[in-house]
Structure 1
Amino acid sequence: MKLAPRNRIKYFEPAVFLGGFTSWAPGNLSYSTGGVYLGYAMMHHVKHKYEAWWQKYSYLLGSGIDAGIAFSSIIIYFAVQYHEIDLNWWGNSVATAGLDYEMRTSGSRLDVADAPGGYFGPRKGNYP
Structure 2
Amino acid sequence: MNTMKLCCLNQSHLKNLKHELQVLHEQLLADLQAEQSDQKEELRLVSCTEVLDRSEAAAATDLNLTRLSHIKQLEEEILECRNALQRIECGRYGCCENCGEVIELNRLMANPAAVLCVGCQSRDELHRTRDSASSF
TM-score band w.r.t. shorter chain: under 0.3
Larger RCO (alpha carbons 8 Å, 6+ apart): 2
Normalised TM-score (structure 1): 0.27
Normalised TM-score (structure 2): 0.26
More helix by share: 2
